[in-house]
Amino acid sequence: MSFSTDEFKNSLSHFASGVTVVTFSDTTRAGGLTVSSFSALSMDPPLVLFSIQKQITSHDPLLASGLFTVNILASDQEELSNQFASGKIDKHELIQKLACDLGHNGVPYLNGALARIECELEKQVDGGDHTIVIGRVIFATSENSKRPLLYYRRGYHSI
């Protein structure tokens, strides 16, 4: 049985998911990227996971930093999702421009996000052309009055 990459991508686009931006920082530069492959993994210990393409510029700095924050975006943050997904925007400069505060783990977080989950790198697992990143949660908080930003069939939506 065979199928095309395009058909596989199209099939996956039928799965609605929340939109997150993962931020990270080493000693000199902050970074971030839009991630739709985020999921809870375990409650005890508290673990989350997401996957990141191996070839993107954020891959190695994120893993080397050892710390990251998952920012779950609110419905009014579509522009932020697009900015952090763009390969043409310097994410360090973007984070400085946004005047992000630092979380308990010392990593910048996005003000106005629906929720944030601060993590330390627990493990990384090879996943083909991606790395599966597992983070141990060290702090979490949420804003209950907002609606989530969703991604479905290659477009943004809200509920």
Would the pLDDT of 68 be above 90?
Answer: yes
Each residue's pLDDT tens digit, 80-96 = 999 999 989 999 999 99
Q: 23 pairs with which residues across the strands?
A: 32, 69
Q: Which domains does the chain have, with CATH numbers?
A: 5-150 (2.30.110.10)
Tell me the whole-structure pTM to 2 decimals.
0.93
Please report, rounded to a whole number, the percentage of residues in the chain having pLDDT higher than 70.
99
pLDDT at 102 > cutoff 90:
yes
Phi and psi at 95, nearest 5°, equal -65, -40
What pLDDT shows up at residue 62? 96
